[in-house]
């Protein structure tokens, strides 16, 4: 069991970096006309078919993935979508796409929605409709256990070396504060962490929940989450066509039911090591000023 758990984490960081770092270029919405008519049409179409088709990657642990030795997809996002479809009285069909192809699949009409830990951004909101958030998170950083890599504030990142992807949100934050990013190919998660431990890099910025899970899986590496730095709050939501107002309303109503009856909390604790990502964190999360993310 532990072997499978660690192997899963060998894919976590690179996959998550790809998900959060993808450019929004080429995602412009094709829905330019129709307004309310298009909104009602999309929901009527789904009801008539009795099925909602949802895009996801199937490769993003713990949101959407296949457990080792299993051919059934699961994850926080996957199980949320299953519950939403069930409460709406709809059959659910998942279509798997690479992260870069998910949003374009909405525009082409191949799918009705996307759920894949998709961050709500200003650019995306101009092109798509989003449900209310089902996950709230923020960024933290992994540093050396012995000295916190000499980092007390984000301003101390100047001159430090960040381990990550070249075009990700996390690298943008690091470079905004004067750090240099060391980029990697398709390496395993432990390579990132050991480079911090041995001083080849100084820190790794990433999602709080994913970093917490990674450290839980790889306890032999002498790194830790920085105890004081919490920044760049994020929300994840279901993505739908821009004009799908009625569909958005229906899904939001079900998500609120799931929040009220504790279903979102239960699912989050199942997939995030007992932590409740369905609620906004109580901690004071620093917004990054002067950087358009």
Does the pLDDT value for residue 156 go beyond 90? yes
* Structural domain includes residue 278: no
Same domain, 32 and 98: yes
Does the pLDDT value for residue 18 go beyond 80? no
Q: What is the pLDDT of residue 22?
A: 46
* Structural domain includes residue 282: no
Q: What is the pLDDT of residue 70?
A: 94
**Percent helix / strand / coil, the chain, rounded to 5:** 40, 20, 40
Same domain, 204 and 159: yes
Contacts of 158 (CB under 8 A, 6+ apart): 177, 178, 179
Residue 39: pLDDT band by 50, 70, 90 thresholds?
low
Whether 119 contacts 168, CB under 8 Å = no
Partners of 143 in the β-ladder: 224
Q: Rounded to two decimals, what is the model's pTM?
A: 0.80
Same domain, 96 and 217: no
Distance CA 245, CA 238 (A): 13
Partners of 163 in the β-ladder: 182
CATH number for the domain that contains residue 198: 3.40.190.10
Contacts of 42 (CB under 8 A, 6+ apart): 112, 240, 241, 243, 244, 246, 247
Same domain, 152 and 241: no
Distance CA 87, CA 107 (A): 26
Residue pLDDT, tens place only, 69-123? 899 999 999 999 999 999 999 999 999 998 778 999 999 999 999 999 998 988 8
Q: What is the pLDDT of residue 122?
A: 87
Contacts of 176 (CB under 8 A, 6+ apart): 288, 290, 291
Same domain, 55 and 129: yes
Q: Which residue has the tokens 């919490």?
A: 230
* Structural domain includes residue 281: no
Contacts of 54 (CB under 8 A, 6+ apart): 81, 85, 92, 93, 94, 95, 111, 112, 113, 114, 115
* Structural domain includes residue 43: yes
- Boundary of a domain, candidates 178, 213, 232: 232
Burial class (CB in 10 A: 0-12, 13-18, 19+), 199: exposed
Contacts of 180 (CB under 8 A, 6+ apart): 160, 161, 162
Same domain, 251 and 123: yes
Contacts of 249 (CB under 8 A, 6+ apart): none
Does the pLDDT value for residue 147 go beyond 50? yes
Same domain, 113 and 247: yes
Residue pLDDT, tens place only, 198-253? 999 999 999 999 899 989 888 999 999 999 999 999 999 999 999 999 999 999 99
Same domain, 130 and 250: yes
50: DSSP letter? T
Same domain, 146 and 181: yes
Residue percentage of the chain with pLDDT more than 90: 71
Same domain, 73 and 42: yes
Which domain does 256 fall in, by range? 12-135+236-271
Same domain, 103 and 240: yes
Same domain, 206 and 66: no
Output the six-digit token pair for 193: 């962490």
Q: What total number of domains does the chain contain?
A: 2
The more confident residue out of 13 and 273 is 273
* Structural domain includes residue 96: yes
């Amino acid at each position: 069991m532990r072997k499978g758990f660690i192997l899963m984490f060998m894919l976590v960081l690179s996959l998550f970096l790809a998900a959060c770092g993808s450019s929004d270029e080429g995602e412009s919405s094709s829905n330019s006309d129709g307004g309310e008519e298009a909104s009602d049409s999309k929901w009527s179409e789904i009801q008539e078919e009795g099925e909602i088709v949802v895009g996801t990657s199937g490769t993003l642990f713990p949101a959407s993935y296949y457990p080792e030795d299993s051919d059934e997809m699961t994850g926080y996002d996957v199980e949320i979508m299953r519950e939403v479809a069930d409460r709406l009285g709809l059959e659910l069909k998942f279509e798997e796409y690479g992260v870069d192809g998910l949003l374009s699949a909405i525009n082409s009409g191949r799918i009705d929605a996307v759920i894949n830990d998709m961050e709500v951004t200003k650019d995306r909101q101009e092109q798509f409709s989003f449900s209310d958030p089902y996950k709230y998170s923020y960024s933290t950083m992994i540093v050396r256990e012995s000295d916190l890599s000499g980092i007390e504030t984000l301003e101390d990142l100047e001159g430090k070396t960040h381990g990550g992807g070249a075009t990700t949100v996390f690298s943008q934050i690091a470079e905004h504060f004067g750090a240099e990013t060391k980029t990697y190919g398709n390496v395993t998660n432990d390579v990132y962490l050991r480079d911090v431990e041995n001083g080849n890099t100084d820190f790794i910025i990433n999602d709080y929940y994913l970093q917490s899970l990674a450290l839980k899986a790889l306890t032999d590496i002498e790194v830790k989450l920085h105890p004081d730095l919490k920044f760049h709050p994020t929300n994840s939501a279901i993505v739908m066509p821009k004009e799908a107002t009625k569909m958005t309303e229906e899904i939001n109503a079900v998500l609120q039911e799931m929040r009220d009856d504790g279903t979102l909390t239960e699912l989050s604790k199942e997939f995030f090591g007992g932590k409740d990502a369905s609620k906004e964190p109580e901690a004071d999360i620093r917004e990054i000023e002067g950087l358009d993310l």
